Amino acid sequence: MDQAGSRQYPDKPTKVYLFGTCLIDLFCPEAGIDAVQLLEREGIEVHFPADQTCCGQPAHSSGFPEQTRAVALAQLRLFPEPWPVIVPSGSCAGMMRQHYPEVFADDPGLQAEATALAERIFELSEFLVHVARVKLADRGAPTRIALHTSCAARREMGTHLHARSLLAQLPGVEVAMHEHESECCGFGGTFSLKHPAISSAMAGDKVDALQETGAQKFVSADCGCMLSLNHTLQKRGEGFQGQHLASFLWQRTGGEGGQR
């Protein structure tokens, strides 16, 4: 696994691909649109291959390599131009960057393609910081937010610091630290279905910690964690909710005119 900081970043491109992820596609498409708008505002043309579905992570983490491989193969050739592929989710980005090469370990040709694709995979906040090198202009009222970084972003992509560095560009946004910040929120994909008691306990502790900061909302760069925590909060009848980082940044910087 590559560590944060060891990656060589390319110059800012004029065109990129977006891999939207299956969760964003069906459950929070506004986060995908806001990611596109953030990129377009930087003068980058965003291409969204219509045949994309899912990175294959659910089958991979459940121990179904054949099904993983088939679904991954269906994504592998959707990005023929040598442009970066932007993924607005740390765990899906981690799947494509860290695990695709091993998924195709049985076929050197496909593995070479997977490795080449993996090199072009960027988690959204990582791309905004290191490749697009965005300068954000804060257009909102002072606020205090909490940040939940996914475990995949933290440990597979080393991108947990990127969201923080983007938020640090916004002088009106205070980012509160919460207790056990680096701890998992209990989502874990199919884990939340297989082990509901443990998953609920973890999600409950996480929303407690986030709320204890006195923040107005929390922000996350991973749709899976965010949905799990938001639905937990809704079940508890809490008004406190999370928002995808892309949406928060887009709204906070006033949309189209938000460049510094």
Binding site for other proteins (CB under 8 A): 18, 20, 22, 24-30, 32-33, 36, 48, 50-54, 56, 58-67, 70-71, 73-74, 151-152, 154-156, 182-184, 186-189, 191-204, 227-228, 231-232, 234-235
- Closer of 138 and 156 to other proteins (Cβ): 156
Report, in Å, the least distance between residue 119 CB and other proteins.
21
- Closer of 171 and 239 to other proteins (Cβ): 239
Q: Count of alpha carbons within 13 Å of 154, Cβ hemisphere only?
A: 12
Q: Quote the CA–CA distance of 257 and 254 in Å, as a whole number.
A: 6
- Closer of 170 and 223 to other proteins (Cβ): 223
Report, in Å, the least distance between residue 179 CB and other proteins.
10
Sign, CA torsion 199/200/206/207:
positive
- Closer of 112 and 201 to other proteins (Cβ): 201
Tokens of 121: 């995979």
- Closer of 135 and 231 to other proteins (Cβ): 231
Q: Quote the CA–CA distance of 125 and 189 in Å, as a whole number.
A: 22
Report, in Å, the least distance between residue 219 CB and other proteins.
19
Q: Quote the CA–CA distance of 131 and 22 in Å, as a whole number.
A: 25
Report, in Å, the least distance between residue 260 CB and other proteins.
25
Report, in Å, the least distance between residue 120 CB and other proteins.
20
Report, in Å, the least distance between residue 129 CB and other proteins.
21
Report, in Å, the least distance between residue 229 CB and other proteins.
9
- Closer of 48 and 172 to other proteins (Cβ): 48
DSSP string, 8-24: PPPPPPSEEEE---HHH
26, amino acid identity: L
- SS3 sequence of 96-134: HHHHHHHHCCCCHHHHHHHHHHHHCEEEHHHHHHHCCCC
Residues 6+ apart with CB under 8 A from 7: 130, 158
Instruction: Count CB atoms within 10 A of the CB of residue 71.
Output: 21
Tokens of 9: 């970043």
Q: Quote the CA–CA distance of 138 and 185 in Å, as a whole number.
A: 29
- Closer of 79 and 173 to other proteins (Cβ): 79
